[in-house]
Amino acid sequence: MIALLIIVVLLALLLQYLAQRRGLRGLEATLSFSAPLVEPGAQFDLILHLTNRNLAFFPFLRVVIRLPGDIAVDAPPNQLRSDNRGGQYLSVTTWLSPKQQLSQHIPVSASARGRYLVQGLTVYGGDFLGLSEERQSYDQFLEVVVLPKEAAEQDMDRISGGFPGDLSVNRFLYEDPVLTVGYRDYTGREPMKMLSWTQMARTGKLMVKQYDYTLETSVTVILNVACQAEEPEPLVEACYSLARTLCRQLEEQGIQYAFQTNAITAGDFASWQSVSEGLGQRHLLHILEGLGRGLYQPACSCETLLERAVRSSDGTHGLLFITPEADPETLRLAALWADRAGVQLWTLIGQEVSP
């Protein structure tokens, strides 16, 4: 019995020595988000990845992750603590056997639009007897962007003047004689050049060619965030929501659109300030990411924005102008630039939908 006890003690001391000598070598730790773009208030995952590259056993690991204070974490209260800089710390404990890989999903959410950063984590590892603790920090840059909320449909209908429907009705401007899709009976109103002699010989009736239509309508969405109000944030926030819903409606109508804004973005996303004409999910997501990253400060004046937008809108048949407030000078400038371009102007004002 005494011999067995001595063997156990010696084995424990050996494991203690090896644990202290090894430290946290061979341990890798990374973080990721389950999605780069998320809806406000929707739950997504912060994923912790741990990898043990060695044959050693880690009996106790404590991972501490610093998160922004306005991210809600679905974790027990004893795993969270706040700091005096507006952030919070999440503590996760686990263990790793030799050559093991572990991924732990932590549910999180954020209610406010914006860009959220996680810039590293620290792993603490205890020795075999729990007498000491090793520490290792892992630097990495991790971000997630929360998109703006959709504007209410009744608000869009009230302030848009029905322009999505107008654009949809007028999107087919003329028949393209190259795109023949079929034939129909002659009504007496068609010009002689539309008669199809081969079809008349086959059917014995007067037949005319039926052409497809060429899509010509396109618009430029202009988002202005320059605002003179004492509290511009709610008004600009309403504009971000209007821009999101408007772009979604244009996608649903199949109307090609360009995008111009003077908003400054969080992160290296300057290309978003001027997006060329396009259509499709990739085009939409690029604009939506910028709307999520957008700040409340303008990079240039509204007049500069309008001038840039009009000069780059070759072939555009409409300007969809979104602005925070009904400032007479701003509205006058928008009307002036639309008149110079010879295009129709629709204006959406954030002040009309801001709570």
The predicted structure's pLDDT at residue 215? 45
Of how many residues is the chain composed? 355
Report the C-alpha gap between 189 and 204 in whole angstroms.
19
Helix (H, G, I), strand (E, B) or coil at 158: helix
Alpha carbon distance, N-terminus to C-terminus of the chain: 78
Other Cβ atoms less than 10 A from the Cβ of 5: the count is: 9
Q: How does pLDDT run across 153-205, given as a tens digit for each residue?
A: 777 777 766 665 555 544 444 444 444 556 677 676 666 666 776 777 777 78
pTM (predicted TM-score): 0.79
- State the average pLDDT for the chain: 83
Contacts of 256 (CB under 8 A, 6+ apart): 215, 217, 218, 219, 250, 277, 278, 279
Backbone angles phi, psi at 218, to 5 degrees: -145, 160
Residue 342 structure tokens: 């010879």
Backbone angles phi, psi at 103, to 5 degrees: -125, 125
Q: How does pLDDT run across 271-290, given as a tens digit for each residue?
A: 789 999 899 999 999 999 99
Q: Which residues pair with 176 in a beta bridge?
A: 212
Q: Is the pLDDT of residue 344 over 90?
A: no
Q: How does pLDDT run across 314-338, given as a tens digit for each residue?
A: 656 789 999 999 999 999 999 999 8
Count of alpha carbons within 13 Å of 72, Cβ hemisphere only? Answer: 11
Higher pLDDT, 101 or 131: 101
* Angle at alpha carbon of residue 195, lines to 193 and 197, rounded to 5°: 120
**Residue whose pair of structure tokens reads 């009705």 in the numeric block:** 169
Residue 183 structure tokens: 């034939």
